[in-house]
Structure 1
Amino acid sequence: MGHLHYGDAKPIFIEDRALAHLKVVVATKLRRNESFTLSWRHPEGEPGGRSTIWLHPSIPLRFVFEEPEPTELSAAWVADLANSASSSGGIVLVEEHLESSD
């Protein structure tokens, strides 16, 4: 389980694979000097509900991964996250849609 450090707030825990995909989209938006929101459902073991934060290029951000090796990225998942990033609702951390091998 990786985590995202944003400003002085306590870490946000996100699975490594999801965090790797999120990192690509967030870095792209911030590199363009764009501000946006990021929303996610609270993980099991935390009080229910969801959270949203406002991401701004001037606020320190750090991605910490439990696994030392980078994960292989799914272009479809990155595209899903990037599409939500460009919407008025901001990035919504959605689950990966796995393609069936039928």
Structure 2
Amino acid sequence: MGRFIYDSTLTLTLDDALLGHLQAVVGAKFRLQQSFYFSWGYPANTGESRTMIWLTPSISVQFHYRTARPPALDRDRISEFLAQANSPSGLVLVIGD
């Protein structure tokens, strides 16, 4: 499991494959100087809540991978994530589903 770190204050644990796709989307948006909402939640039966943050190029983000080998990326999944990121509700992930 890797870690997505936002502004050195918030850490989200994700598997390396999902983290790689998130990095591709964040990189694509930030290269264009675009900000977007990013939220994640957990299946209802876990009792966990949902978190939403505003990702903007001016705030530090970090991607820490568990493994040294870069994950294989799926273009369709990246396209789906980019479409979500470009929507008013932003990119939404369900963790542990």
Please give the TM-score of this superposition, normalised by the length of structure 2: 0.86
Q: Which residue is 1:60 aligned to?
A: 60
1:65-84 matches, cutoff 5 A: 65-84=65-84
For 1:86 and 1:67, how far apart are their aligned partners in 2? 30
For structure 2, list consecutive stretches of 5 or more residues without a partner in the other structure: none
1:1-102 matches, cutoff 5 A: 1-42=1-42, 48-93=48-93
Shift of residue 94 of structure 1?
5.6
For 2:70 and 2:91, how far apart are their aligned partners in 1? 22
Shift of residue 30 of structure 1?
0.9
- Choose 1 or 2 for highest CA Rg: 1
Q: Is the 8 A contact 1:81 1:94 kept in 2?
A: no
Q: Is the 8 A contact 1:16 1:67 kept in 2?
A: yes
Shift of residue 21 of structure 1?
0.5
For 1:63 and 1:19, how far apart are their aligned partners in 2? 7
User: How many residues end up aligned between the 2 structures?
Assistant: 93
For structure 1, list consecutive stretches of 5 or more residues without a partner in the other structure: 96-102
Bigger helix fraction:
2
**Secondary structure of 2:77 counterpart:** helix
Shift of residue 5 of structure 1?
1.0
**Aligned alpha-carbon RMSD (Å):** 1.9
Residues 54-91 of structure 1: CA deviation (Å, up to 9, x unaligned) = 11111111100001101111111111101101101111
Give the structure, 1 or 2, with the largest relative contact order (CA under 8 Å, sep 6 or more).
Answer: 2
**Secondary structure of 1:25 counterpart:** helix
Residue identity over aligned pairs, in percent, reads 34
Bigger strand fraction:
2
Shift of residue 11 of structure 1?
1.3
